[in-house]
């Protein structure tokens, strides 16, 4: 019971820090993950089974699945990575608690809490030396055209970037009132902004008599 209690206590402290700082995964989820990891690993330990390492690997996989639920993309920014990493480490604290490595479990929890508290303001203050070249951006080009020109416009969008600096990731059409079709194309770019290229595609579309309107936006 002492090991279970330790896993609950450490999960509570980790979750408390998350909840105080306004993150989505607070006390309850961290307690449950820490205690769950502890209980799953205690079963083979108590039964004398040699499946400890296999179950530990299953815990890592299972928590990884949970972590995917707190990661989401908002515009050009990916959010929730720090929360997911915290949940992953919380599971490790639970595993250490179940194995009887109490000092290691406490040390890991303390380091985790201090890392979240101290490193975040430090990371905000550090300015990048160079502009990141791996930034992903999605440019959405919207075109309204005559229905009989749909095939031509779709083909033009597919072949609009011969140098492959913009990657077409989505292309869809929908009917609108008045015998017209709205076409949306999403282009992914990596590195420097490609707004000028998106603008060039739109300008080319606007030269066609079958195109009623065209524009682009960053999503």
110-141 per-position pLDDT tens digit = 888 888 788 777 766 765 555 555 577 889 99
Which residues form the domain of 32? 2-125
The answer, yes or no, to whether residue 158 has pLDDT greater than 70, is: yes
Q: What is the pLDDT of residue 141?
A: 94
| DSSP assigned state of 210 | T
**b (16+ CB within 10 A) / e for 155-187:** ebbeebbeeeebebeeeebeeeeeebbbbebbb
- CATH number of the CATH domain containing 164: 3.30.70.260
Domain boundary, last residue among 125, 152, 168: 125
Whole-angstrom distance, CA of residue 98 vs CA of residue 38: 5
Same domain? 207 vs 101: no
Q: What is the pLDDT of residue 6?
A: 82
Answer whether residue 131 is part of any domain.
Answer: no
Same domain, 92 and 196: no
Count of domains observed in the chain: 2
In angstroms, the Cα distances linking 11 to 17, 110, 206, 211, 218 are 10, 11, 58, 59, 40
First to last CA, the chain: 51
Two structure tokens written together for 200: 């060039």
- Encode pLDDT of 184-213 as tens digits: 999 988 777 788 889 999 999 999 999 999
Task: Say yes or no: 106 and 205 in one domain.
Answer: no
On whether both 113 and 160 belong to a single domain, the answer is no
Please check whether residues 60 and 97 belong to one and the same domain: yes
């Amino acid at each position: 019971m002492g090991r279970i209690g330790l896993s609950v206590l450490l999960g509570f402290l980790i979750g408390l820090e998350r909840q105080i700082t306004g993150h989505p995964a607070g006390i309850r989820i961290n307690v449950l993950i820490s205690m769950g990891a502890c209980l799953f690993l205690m079963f083979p330990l108590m039964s004398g089974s040699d499946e400890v390492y296999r179950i530990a690997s299953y815990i890592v996989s299972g928590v990884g699945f949970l972590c995917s639920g707190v990661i989401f993309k908002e515009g050009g920014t990916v959010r929730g990575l720090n929360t997911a990493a915290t949940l992953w480490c919380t599971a490790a604290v639970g595993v250490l608690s179940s194995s009887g490595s109490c000092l290691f479990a406490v040390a890991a929890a303390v380091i985790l809490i201090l890392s979240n508290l101290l490193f975040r303001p430090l990371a905000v203050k550090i300015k990048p030396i160079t502009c990141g070249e791996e930034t992903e951006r999605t440019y959405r080009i919207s075109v309204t055209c005559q229905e009989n020109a749909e095939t031509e416009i779709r083909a033009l969008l597919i072949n609009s970037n011969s140098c492959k600096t913009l990657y077409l990731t989505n292309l869809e059409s929908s009917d609108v009132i008045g015998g017209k079709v709205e076409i949306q194309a999403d282009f992914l770019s990596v590195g420097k902004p490609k707004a000028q290229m998106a603008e060039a595609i739109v300008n080319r579309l606007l030269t066609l008599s079958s195109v009623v309107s065209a524009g682009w936006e960053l999503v």
